[in-house]
Chain A
Amino acid sequence: MEFFRIKRDIPFMSYGKLTTAISLVTFILAVFFLFSKGLNLSVEFTGGTVMEVQYQQPANLADIRHRVETLKVGEVQVQSLGTSRDVLIRLPSKEGTSSAKLSEQVMGLLKAGDAGVQLRKVEFVGPSVGEELVSHGLTAILLVCLGIVIYLALRFEWRLAVSAIIANMHDVVIIIGCFALFQWEFSLTVLAGVLAVLGYSVNESVVVFDRIRENFRKPGMRGRSTAEVIDNAITSTISRTMITHGSTETVVLAMLLFGGPALHGFAMALTIGIVFGIYSSVLVASPLALALGVKREHMIKIVKPKEEAVV
């Protein structure tokens, strides 16, 4: 079997204008949704209490909501979770009441309605913890970017490093934009997924850059323009790109399908991240590097003088 039978180099760079336009539009849309709809932040960030309960028979959500509302703690969310027997209850944090009391009060009320109800999970986070998480999360993203830029700048060239990180931030913004658009819950685990995407998709750019550098060194590529060299690099790695991403996507989809609700958000972030990761590393990072004016001389500098002498 051989999926990719490409006879000649695909002129990826000539699509540069089109892909930049597409990226720009999706990026702006993502930012727009992020600001207009906002993220549906999980209890870890906002503070409050989340409870998961399980009933023996299909649960009556209206009745549960009515019962919980008698506590007068503010806006209460009651929704079913996967099956009709599992129910998720979200309560905002209330001054002066400890979570221990709150979740017990709720259980007391629910048990009065149906003795067969079982508490599966409680999560309570105080408001101060949430603020810390947000600041730590942002610091983490910033440091990851910085670390990657420094490493790539040392290993390759700053123009490639910058274009790789822009391409990847574009992925991250689009993932977060999707979470805002569909109002999926953005939890700590999702943040972990987003950061994993950041590391993973730089991976992809590295493979392409590696090829570009190698091509610049090849004697046979001497006469070609930078755009042609990049086209050749992408074309010769495209098979590997698709297969690798396909494999990772398979695992992530398995997680999405079989991992249950606890892994759902994480798997979703990765699913989107990998799809955009392919696109951005091939069609965003490389045109950007070209636009930044990457040239043969920038890359050859790293080559040892001995090899240079042979050529």
Chain B
Amino acid sequence: MNRFPIWKYLVIAVVLIVSTIYTLPNFFGETPAVQISSTRQSATVDTALMARVETVLQQQGIKPAGLFLDGNSLKVRFNDPDTQIKARDIIQQALGDTYIIALNLLAASPEWLSKLHANPMFLGLDLRGGVHFLLEVDMQAAVDKTMERYAGDIRRELKTAKIRYGAIKRTGNTALEVQLRDQETLNAAADKLARSLPSLTFSSDDQLFRLSLALKPEEITRIQSDAVSQNITTLHNRVNELGVAEPVIQQAGPSRIVVQLPGVQDTAKAKDILGRTATLQVRMVEDDPSRVAEAMAGNVPTGYELLDEASSQGIQKILLKKDVELTGDNINSAQPGFDQNGGASVDIGLDSTGAEIFRSLTAENIGKRMAMVLVEKNKSEVVTAPVIRSEIGGGRVQISGSMNPAEANDVALLLRAGSLAAPMNIIEERTIGPSLGKENIEKGFSATLWGFAAIAVFMVLYYRVFGLISVASLGVNLFMLIALLSMLQATLTLPGIAAIALTLGMAIDANVLINERIREELRNGVPPQSAIQAGYAHAWATILDSNVTTLIAGIALLVFGSGPVRGFAVVHCLGILTSMFSAVLVSRGIVNLWYGRRRRLTAVSIGQVWKPETK
């Protein structure tokens, strides 16, 4: 009666083999490696690069433990961290800025395992150290910025069409108003703008000759989703500059972005580069002495703004027009360099729109000064305010001024990384030092180990052979859970380890239920084989009910939890599923193998079965 058909044993065997294979990579540890990847089309990662890296390393007397191409990146393994860091510097020098070179840890498991996509569990930041940010995009600012750009577009369109206009005013959150001179110019302007700016709705006031323009609702949603995706791209670029091996940059909700940088040691620099929300604006300087004097006296004329300019003589005040001529949106590239006098400079390349605007701006304003303004967190600072010597066409611009090479490098980095569509605020941050991560792993591991050991000892003492079987199935449960986590590459965090430990503690419940039931049947005088049968049959309904209720709680945690709660819930839910399998099917399988074949089974080893003397 206690026999399984062959297929059930086969299922168990297959599950065991698969679990073992996918658990294995976790035992091999990790080796230090350098990861080389590229973000540009021109710089490819291929076998030629692999050969180049190998030669460069050999020239310096470093022998890598292995090189291999993995998708778009080249990974080079080393035997120890010292060589890894030395090699990183050498490769960086040889390849230059075209490639992203990052330190990484790779699984040290044999190749045949990697071919099966058997990788170690993916550790969360709290276990490997690193930085986690939750950023919120300022949507109002994104709308504001778009409105500013439209105002600039309108001004330019009307100017090129030689239509005279008065003030351009912002009349609402998403509406603009242009004052025109008469009916004729009003019609001409409406006609012209409707053709070139199709994303706006138009209405004209024929009495006051005013043209009202408003954003279409679908345009507003588009601006917001664009703002998030553009910021994600920008963050990608900035993170690439940091050289992080496996960054996570994801949208979380309509206006939020999660950034995770595992293994980042210099957290201050990471925060600095990510936290900056710099945008570049090109604006004209007002050098008329009377206006400047008036502004200095504290009476800044309307349409003007007094800003700080950092120079080698210290901070100076400079008077700027409020109109923004050009923004960082039109910047294609920015590189640090040197000007003809040997001073540090930033070389900027503009896109075609930007180049055109810049050409006409410089042509109209020869001899005047223009300012490059870096806007960071609502604070504007003039980076430099050079005099325009001649018309600059072709979109190549060089800024030089009060900069040292490091500053030039920083400014270039920010400009190159692209500007943000809207500023972002860090609303959540977690930084875990690498040593703390290691400690967390050790502590979580020892907690699980001690818990498991204590249960195992008790079960074997109390239930003898059946206890041993229970412990074996609990071990299988642990294997299956780790294998499943490795397979899914679900992120394992410290609460996740806690969930593994807790799952073990709770999974034993099913075995205790079964064993107690069998004892009870034996106590009532049922023969052993039937007792086993009845024990499992009776316990099953209870096990199912209790696991479903636990699963309900687990799923609610998964849906509503965030951060640590979700990390716990994922493992908890998976653990409940694996425990049902192992406690019922695997333990029964072993019992059937052990006892099922014996025809005349008179006793089973399930510890003492005490019977009350008086019945």
Give residues in A with beta carbon < 8 Å to B.
1-2, 5, 7, 44, 52, 98-100, 103-104, 107, 118-126, 128-129, 133, 136-137, 139-140, 143-144, 147-148, 151-152, 155, 187-189, 191-192, 195-196, 198-200, 202-204, 206-207, 210, 214, 236-237, 239-240, 243-244, 246-252, 254-255, 257-260, 262-263, 266-267, 270
Contact of A200 among B446, B506, B548 (CB under 8 A): B506
Is there an interface contact between A254 and B501, defined as CB atoms closer than 8 Å? yes
Tell yes or no: B406 within 8 A of A by CB.
no
Is there an interface contact between B433 and A120, defined as CB atoms closer than 8 Å? yes
A contact face: mostly helix, strand, loop, or mixed: helix
Is there an interface contact between A240 and B513, defined as CB atoms closer than 8 Å? yes
Residues of chain A within 8 A (CB-CB) of B554 are 196, 199
Is there an interface contact between B552 and A147, defined as CB atoms closer than 8 Å? yes
Residues of chain B within 8 A (CB-CB) of A2 are 519, 607-610
Further pairs besides A5-B612, A259-B443: 20, Cβ < 8 Å: A2-B609, A98-B275, A107-B268, A120-B432, A121-B431, A122-B429, A129-B428, A136-B561, A140-B559, A192-B565, A195-B565, A196-B572, A203-B509, A243-B512, A251-B452, A254-B451, A255-B451, A255-B498, A255-B502, A258-B446
Tell yes or no: B113 within 8 A of A by CB.
no
Contact (A199, B427) CB under 8 Å given A118-B433, A120-B435: no
Kindly list the 4 A-B residue pairs having the minimum CB-CB distance in the complex, ordered from nearest.
A199-B553, A251-B505, A126-B427, A251-B451
Contact (A126, B556) CB under 8 Å given A2-B610, A243-B516: no
Residues of chain B within 8 A (CB-CB) of A192 are 495, 557, 561, 564-565, 568-569
Residues of chain A within 8 A (CB-CB) of B516 are 237, 239-240, 243
Residues of chain B within 8 A (CB-CB) of A121 are 430-433, 436
- Separation of A136 and B253 alpha carbons in the complex (Å): 14
Contact of A248 among B425, B505, B549, B614 (CB under 8 A): B505
Residues of chain B within 8 A (CB-CB) of A196 are 502, 553-554, 557, 568, 572
- Separation of A243 and B463 alpha carbons in the complex (Å): 11
- Separation of A103 and B271 alpha carbons in the complex (Å): 11
Q: How many A-B residue pairs have CB under 8 A?
A: 239
Q: Mark B527-558, 1 if CB is under 8 A from A, else 0.
A: 00000000000100110011011111111110
Is there an interface contact between A151 and B568, defined as CB atoms closer than 8 Å? no
Is there an interface contact between A203 and B549, defined as CB atoms closer than 8 Å? yes
Is there an interface contact between A206 and B549, defined as CB atoms closer than 8 Å? yes
B478-503 at interface with A (beta carbon < 8 Å): 494-495, 498, 501-502
Is there an interface contact between A270 and B502, defined as CB atoms closer than 8 Å? yes
B141-193 at interface with A (beta carbon < 8 Å): none
Taking residues whose C-beta sits less than 8 angstroms from the other chain, chain B's interface range is: 35 or more
Is there an interface contact between A243 and B462, defined as CB atoms closer than 8 Å? yes
Residues of chain B within 8 A (CB-CB) of A100 are 271-272, 275, 426, 429
Contact (A139, B550) CB under 8 Å given A2-B609, A118-B433, A207-B542: no
User: Which of A122, A152, A250 has most B Cβ within 10 Å?
Assistant: A250
User: Which of B136, B498, B520 has most A Cβ within 10 Å?
Assistant: B498
B428-462 at interface with A (beta carbon < 8 Å): 428-433, 435-436, 439-440, 443-444, 446-448, 450-452, 454-455, 458-459, 461-462
Residues of chain B within 8 A (CB-CB) of A236 are 520
Residues of chain B within 8 A (CB-CB) of A147 are 552-553, 555-556
Is there an interface contact between A1 and B607, defined as CB atoms closer than 8 Å? yes
Residues of chain A within 8 A (CB-CB) of B462 are 1, 243
Is there an interface contact between B272 and A251, defined as CB atoms closer than 8 Å? no
Tell yes or no: B126 within 8 A of A by CB.
yes
Residues of chain A within 8 A (CB-CB) of B560 are 136-137, 139-140, 143
Tell yes or no: B332 within 8 A of A by CB.
no
